[in-house]
Amino acid sequence: MPELITLDPAGDPAAYTDALVKYAAGEVPGFIIPGTVSFTSAVLVRFLRKLKIPYEDIWYRHMYDPGLVTRWMERRELPYLEYQVADGCNMRCSACSHYSQLVDGPGLLDLKETEKGFRLLRGFFDNICLIRVMGGEPLLNPELHKYLRMTHEIFPQAVLEVVSNGILITSMSEELTETMKELDVTLYMSYYPAMKGKDREIDDFLTRKGIGHKISEMAEEFFKVTDLKGGLDPAAEFFSCSWRFCNMLRDTKIAACAYPFLAHYFNDYYGKELPESGEVDLEEEGLTREEILRRLDTPIEFCAFCRQPGVPVPWTRASGKDVPLEDIAIVQ
Domains in the chain, start-ordered, CATH in brackets? 5-74 (no CATH), 78-330 (3.20.20)
Read off the pLDDT band of 2 (50, 70, 90): low
Read off the pLDDT band of 48 (50, 70, 90): very high
pLDDT at 243: 84
- Whether residue 106 has pLDDT greater than 90: yes
pLDDT in tens, 90-102: 999 999 999 999 9
Read off the pLDDT band of 321 (50, 70, 90): confident
- Whether residue 320 has pLDDT greater than 80: no
- Whether residue 332 has pLDDT greater than 80: no
- Whether residue 84 has pLDDT greater than 90: yes
Read off the pLDDT band of 1 (50, 70, 90): low
pLDDT at 242: 80
pLDDT at 248: 98
Kindly state the percentage of the chain with pLDDT values over 70.
99
Instruction: Read off the pLDDT of each residue in 17-45 and give the average, rounded to a whole number.
Output: 92
pLDDT in tens, 190-236: 999 999 999 999 999 999 999 999 999 999 999 999 999 999 999 99
What does the angle CA 248 – CA 226 – CA 307 come to, to the nearest 5 degrees?
90
pLDDT at 319: 79
Instruction: Read off the pLDDT of each residue in 258-272 and give the average, rounded to a whole number.
Output: 97
- Whether residue 275 has pLDDT greater than 70: yes
Kindly state the percentage of the chain with pLDDT values over 90.
89
